[in-house]
């Protein structure tokens, strides 16, 4: 269906940063995200995904070499209060990452792991098909992101070229939600 609209969401994401010293930085953030899925009049009421999503949590950065290299650790609690009972959940997310500037040509290597556990609040009305209303959905999703990036300038214009790889593995107790996704991208960004 080409350009059919799927979802609209607005995000309010205030955060507070604490710089304890030159090698320790902590961000504390809150996110509020209303989600409005289009054409949800065609689905059962328990399947309406419109939701209010809340997230709060700290992320701590250990900085090295003036912030050129870092290790990050974080935790977030989030909750989705959906109109449809099959989509409301509470979750916990663990964030781990690092950035290291390679000794060759200042290439940035970055790795991030985002591990998200979601426990759905209600028994699923559709799945499993032979035992409806017997299981609450539980997901454990690991998103692994790796990137190599290089900044450069051409005639006083600043650019970044990147090669990225994302591996997303969602394991669910309801087989329909099990999925694995691999995404590789290249990009050139012009900073002006």
* Domain ranges for the chain: 7-191
Q: Which residue did the predictor score with more confidence, 2 or 47? A: 47
Q: What is the mean pLDDT of residues 150-177?
A: 95
Burial class (CB in 10 A: 0-12, 13-18, 19+), 41: exposed
Q: What is the mean pLDDT of residues 92-99?
A: 98
Q: What is the mean pLDDT of residues 8-37?
A: 96
Q: What is the mean pLDDT of residues 127-155?
A: 94
Q: What is the pTM of this model?
A: 0.86
Q: What is the mean pLDDT of residues 136-155?
A: 96
User: Has residue 136 got a pLDDT over 90?
Assistant: yes
| Band of residue 63 on the pLDDT scale cut at 50, 70, 90 | very high
CA distance 78 to 90: 6
pLDDT at residue 41, rounded to an integer: 80
Q: HSE on the CB side for 58, CA within 13 Å?
A: 8
| Candidate from 3-12, 101-110, 155-164 with smallest mean pLDDT | 3-12
Percent of the chain with pLDDT strictly greater than 70: 99
| Band of residue 1 on the pLDDT scale cut at 50, 70, 90 | low
CA distance 192 to 157: 7
User: Has residue 151 got a pLDDT over 80?
Assistant: yes
State the chain's mean pLDDT as an integer.
94
Q: What is the mean pLDDT of residues 22-28?
A: 96
């Amino acid at each position: 269906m080409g350009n059919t609209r799927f979802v609209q969401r607005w995000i309010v994401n205030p955060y507070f940063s604490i710089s304890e010293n030159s090698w320790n930085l902590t961000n504390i953030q809150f996110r509020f995200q209303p989600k409005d899925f289009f054409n949800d009049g065609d689905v059962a009421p328990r399947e309406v995904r419109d939701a209010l999503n809340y997230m709060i949590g700290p992320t701590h950065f250990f900085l090295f070499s003036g912030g050129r290299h870092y290790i990050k650790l974080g935790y977030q609690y989030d909750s989705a209060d959906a109109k449809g009972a099959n989509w409301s959940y509470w979750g916990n997310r663990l964030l781990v990452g690092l950035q290291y500037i390679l000794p060759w040509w200042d290439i940035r290597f970055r790795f991030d792991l985002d591990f998200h556990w979601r426990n759905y609040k209600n028994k699923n009305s559709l799945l499993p098909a032979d035992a409806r209303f017997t299981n609450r959905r539980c997901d454990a999703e690991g998103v692994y992101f790796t990137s190599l990036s290089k900044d450069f300038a051409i005639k006083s214009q600043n650019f970044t070229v990147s090669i990225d790889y994302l591996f997303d593995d969602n394991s669910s107790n309801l087989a329909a939600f099990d999925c694995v996704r691999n995404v590789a991208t290249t990009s050139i960004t012009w900073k002006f």
